[in-house]
Amino acid sequence: MEYRQLGGSGMMVPNLALGTATFGGSTPFFRNWGTTQLEEATRLVDMALAAGVNFFDTSDTYSDGLSEEILGRAIGRRRDGVILATKATFRSEPGPNGRGSSRYHLLRACEASLRRLRTDYIDLYQMHGFDPLTPVEETLRTLEDLVRSGKVRYVGCSNFSGWHLMKSLAVSEKYGLPRYVVHQAYYSLLDREYEWELLPLAEDQKVGTFVWSPLSGGKLAGKVRRGQPLPEVTRLRAEAQGDQLQDERLFTIVDVLDTVAAETGKTVSQVAINWLLQRPTVVSIILGARTEDQLRENLGAVGWNLTPDQVARLDAASDRTPIYPYWHQRGTIGTRGPVEMV
């Protein structure tokens, strides 16, 4: 298993992580993602660890905390050998202070996550979204207290806009507060909007990218093809709108994935994940497997690399015209480099 630097920190993590949003399924929303209970979750954790994947991601909002509880029990006595990442900010309690990134909420949320995960520290504590109400200084000073207390080792963010992240980094630098080392973000061959602003920002500021939904919610898992019906049992039936599954760009990407998969002897999913592993700033990719077969297949995305030509063909098939101001920047300063003085 390849290890990569966790953003600008000194910590190394495997380039694959096991996501646990499928654990529990105790709410209608997360039931569509999966209903993995302790016995099956333990087998998935065992399989991941056997493959060298000791990085696990969860959140206090996944099935109202049940995901954290199941993960903590599945890890059991192996805590010292794993890297635990969880998230806070979204609603985890009733009442006006039951969500957000305030000192009040984060301190309570962290203690609750520690109890459910059966641990006394969290390796990577991520803000699940930006809280526009709470001052950034309050959030970061609370995270500093958690780091100083030993309850948190590194901090990250998720689903931020560019200005959210840059403002947070500026406040960290100004006051000497903990810095977000990774940004957990939605990124795939089908969904490349991350590249328009957040990826250049991550390169410039040495913030690692921790990818969620690398197969675009299953649309790049080989189940969606031009002129073919969906399988009877799939998350796509419950979540995707009809026009999302009849998109010509999606079909074009899948056509090239099929071709490259045949050339490499790999599956469509493995090719799509390997493409992501070659993108700048990507530290690790979260695998959201519901079954052992899915996890086994996705673990096969590492240990080899696409050729430059294969990457270029996938780039071309998945390219799209960005929104303003990014299309304007692409056509003007996007390719600017050193020039001779005249």
Q: Is the pLDDT of residue 342 over 50?
A: no
Q: How far apart are CA 70 and CA 22, in angstroms?
A: 11
Predicted confidence at residue 141, as pLDDT, reads: 98
- Residues with Cβ within 8 Å of 236's Cβ and at least 6 positions away in sequence, in order, are 217, 218, 219, 223, 224, 230, 245
Indicate the helix (H) or strand (E) that contains 9.
Answer: none
Is the backbone of residue 227 left (phi > 0), alpha (psi -120 to 50) or beta?
left
Predicted confidence at residue 341, as pLDDT, reads: 40
Predicted confidence at residue 38, as pLDDT, reads: 96
110-132 b/e (C-beta count within 10 Å ≥ 16 → b)? bebbbebbebeebbbbbbbbbbe
* Nearest 10 degrees: Cα torsion 21, 24, 30, 33: 60
Annotated active-site residue 62? The verdict is yes
Q: How far apart are CA 323 and CA 105, in angstroms?
A: 36
Q: Flag whether the pTM goes above 0.85.
A: yes
Evaluated on CA atoms 221, 251, 236, 65, the torsion sign reads positive
The structural architecture, per CATH, of the domain 3-331 is Alpha-Beta Barrel (3.20)
Predicted confidence at residue 302, as pLDDT, reads: 98
Each residue's pLDDT tens digit, 13-70: 999 999 999 999 988 888 888 889 999 999 999 999 999 999 999 999 999 999 999 9
Active-site hit among 3, 62, 180, 187: 62
Each residue's pLDDT tens digit, 157-170: 999 999 999 999 99
Confidence bin at 216 (pLDDT 50/70/90): very high
Predicted confidence at residue 339, as pLDDT, reads: 44
Each residue's pLDDT tens digit, 121-173: 999 999 999 999 999 999 999 999 999 999 999 999 999 999 999 999 999 99
Which residues does residue 211 pair with via DSSP β-bridges, in sequence order? 185, 285
Q: How far apart are CA 241 and CA 324, in angstroms?
A: 26
Instruction: List the one residue out of 55, 1, 10, 14 whose CA is nearest residue 282.
Output: 14
